[in-house]
Amino acid sequence: MMIKNFGARVISVWEGLRPMTKKMLVGALQASGASNAQSQKFSYDVHAEWELSRLLSALDEQTKDAEVRKDAEKLREIKQLAETCAKVLQTQTASAEVFIQLATRAVQRHDFNNLDRLADVLAARFSAGEVAEIIRQTDLAQIRAVAYETLALMPLNNLFPLLDDPLYFEIARNALEQQAFEFDNEEAQQVLEQLELDEMNGE
């Protein structure tokens, strides 16, 4: 794989990667399948996540380039590296921004099986605050629906801190309404009633 043929932006991002991130990517590329890639022990941190996210954006942008699309082998290699970045991110991230990036790719590719897998990641790994941030940041209805469903399945105690934050209050209330009326959660109904009383009393 010749990175130098992948375009100026990809080259620039690649050259800015730390050696440990490059090593991680090479190891993931050499894995014989997705299951192997997921089982590898990577040296992964917040900086590596940022690097992989930037590289993924650059690679995805290159796949739209008219000249690149004329070269089937180059396009295949760029897509292979992009999918490797995405797989590593998907197995590790707990960031709202990266989740939106990955979920947006799935929606744009009509890959709803992967969107389902991302929903499982959201439920298993993300805090209520990060899920609420996903709802706040995305405009895509499919991603908002996945995130709201994840919040609606969380214990009520996870949602209470969101009610104290003006950024997330309406999101938390919507999740409570989903719990109360779609899932017949009586405790959520009681919380909503208390919220309405507080509003009526100007609290």
Over residues 48-103, the pLDDT tens digits come to 999 999 999 999 999 999 988 999 999 999 999 999 999 999 999 999 999 999 99
Q: Using CA atoms, how far apart are residues 138 and 72, in angstroms rounded to an integer? A: 33
Give me the helices (H) in 153-185, please. 156-163, 169-177
* Predicted confidence (pLDDT) at residue 32 exceeds the cutoff of 50: no
Query: For 124-144, what is each residue's pLDDT tens digit?
Result: 999 999 999 999 999 999 999
pLDDT value for 4? 85
Res. 31 pLDDT band, cuts 50 70 90: confident
pLDDT value for 42? 64
- Cβ neighbours of 93 (radius 10 Å): 23
Percent of the chain's residues with pLDDT above 90: 84
* Predicted confidence (pLDDT) at residue 38 exceeds the cutoff of 60: no
Question: Which is nearest to 81 in space by CA: 22, 137, 136, 36?
Answer: 22
Q: Using CA atoms, how far apart are residues 57 and 36, in angstroms rounded to an integer? A: 24
* Predicted confidence (pLDDT) at residue 176 exceeds the cutoff of 70: yes
Q: Using CA atoms, how far apart are residues 154 and 175, in angstroms rounded to an integer? A: 9
pLDDT value for 200? 87
Handedness of CA 147, 98, 60, 76 (dihedral sign): negative
Res. 187 pLDDT band, cuts 50 70 90: very high
Query: For 1-13, what is each residue's pLDDT tens digit?
Result: 678 889 899 999 9
Please give the span between the terminal C-alpha atoms of the chain, in angstroms, as a whole number: 62
